[in-house]
Amino acid sequence: MSLEDKDIELIERYLLGEATSEEKNAVEQRLKRDQEFAEEVDFVRSVILATREKGEEIFRDKLNELEGSLADKLEKQADTEMGKGVETRKTVPFFRRKWFYYAATIAAVVAIGTFFMLQQGRQGPRLFGKYFTAYPNEIITYARGDQVPEGYDQFTQQEYNLIVRAMKYYERKNFEKARELFEANIRKIPENAGLMVYLSICQMQTDKHQAAIQNLEYVLGLSNPPLEKQAQWYLALAHLKNNQTAKAVELLQAIAQQPQHPFRDQAQKIVQKIK
């Protein structure tokens, strides 16, 4: 299940020290049981740390630049004040205000940068949540008997029955149970390419996106595999969920250029939103 905006806002308040005691407790309890939530917390934390480090670097560079450009001016001003008999310490508040102004300006820039980085980091998962739907079963029949249906000779009757059971769980949207059965019974061989697309969809629905990416890449590496266009689409979505935007866009643009592709319109819309 994709995280909602309120979840992201709660994470940000928690990491920035703005959460209430009740919210902190809720976050810490959820971290123990919700893997997707925990991963988002780690991601937001890494963004905040990275932008803080970058902000410190920018601030140091700015101070060095200002020190060089204002050194002469400050020295002349100090000489003038001394010439008037004014104690040097009286000029300190003025300089402090100057440095505070520059520091505040840089802090604002860093804060804005943090906001946009966070927004960009959420874009892929949000688009994934909007456009992802499980592909309907077009590959498994429910006939049970003494013979495995044509095209599934790689399975014993017992193995095929387990695949049928997995697909039934899939159609009832019990993707966790379907994934377990698919993973236990589908070998990574060309004959199982079509089934691996459904396995990958189950993996995407249970937050195993990297495993899904590997399986879909395997399918697309075969020569004319079944459900090839579907594999392209779901691989693009998996990259979006993983915030691998460049890889997702490359696939989506390829899909958008195929007039007969079943996901052409959706791909075009996502590309436009990312741009």
User: What's residue 58's pLDDT?
Assistant: 59
- Answer yes or no: do 19 and 103 share one domain: yes
- Answer yes or no: do 39 and 115 share one domain: yes
Rounded CA separation 45/18 (Å):
14
Within 8 A by CB and 6+ apart from 99, the residues are 63
Give the containing element (helix H, strand E) for 103. helix 92-131
Within 8 A by CB and 6+ apart from 248, the residues are 124, 236, 237, 239, 240, 270, 274
pLDDT average, residue stretch 40-60? 68
Q: Is the pLDDT of residue 135 over 70?
A: yes
Average pLDDT, the chain: 79
Does any domain span residue 139?
A: no
If one compares 212 and 58, the residue with the highest pLDDT of the two is 212
If one compares 191 and 98, the residue with the highest pLDDT of the two is 191
Q: Do residues 248 and 242 lie in contact, with contact meaning Cβ atoms separated by under 8 Å?
A: no
Which pLDDT band holds residue 137 (cuts at 50, 70, 90)? very high
Q: Do residues 236 and 251 lie in contact, with contact meaning Cβ atoms separated by under 8 Å?
A: yes
Give the tens place of pLDDT for each residue, 141-184. Answer: 765 556 788 888 888 888 888 899 999 999 999 999 999 999 99
- Answer yes or no: do 14 and 100 share one domain: yes
User: What's residue 107's pLDDT?
Assistant: 53
- Answer yes or no: do 115 and 174 share one domain: no
Q: Is the pLDDT of residue 189 over 90?
A: yes
What are the percentages of helix, strand and coil residues in the chain, rounded to 5?
75, 0, 25
Q: Phi, psi (5° rounding) for residue 212?
A: -65, -45
Q: Is the pLDDT of residue 205 over 80?
A: yes
Within 8 A by CB and 6+ apart from 34, the residues are none
- Percent of the chain surpassing pLDDT 70: 70
Which residues span the domain enclosing 47?
5-122
pTM: 0.57
Does any domain span residue 48?
A: yes
Q: Do residues 239 and 255 lie in contact, with contact meaning Cβ atoms separated by under 8 Å?
A: no
User: What's residue 36's pLDDT?
Assistant: 83
- Percent of the chain surpassing pLDDT 90: 39
Rounded CA separation 61/57 (Å):
6
Q: Is the pLDDT of residue 94 over 80?
A: no
Query: What's the total number of domains in the chain?
Result: 2
Instruction: Say whether 111 sits in a helix, a strand or coil.
Output: helix
pLDDT average, residue stretch 94-108? 50
Rounded CA separation 214/198 (Å):
13
Least confident of 12-26, 61-75, 223-237: 61-75
- Answer yes or no: do 175 and 258 share one domain: yes
Q: Is the pLDDT of residue 202 over 60?
A: yes
Does any domain span residue 206?
A: yes
Does any domain span residue 65?
A: yes
Buried b (16+ CB within 10 A) or exposed e, 236-258: bbbbbbbebbeebbebbeebbee
pLDDT average, residue stretch 207-222? 95
Chain position carrying tokens 């300190």:
92
Give the tens place of pLDDT for each residue, 234-275. Answer: 999 999 988 888 999 999 999 999 999 999 999 999 999 886
Q: Is the pLDDT of residue 188 over 90?
A: yes
Does any domain span residue 22?
A: yes
- Answer yes or no: do 101 and 168 share one domain: no
Does any domain span residue 142?
A: no
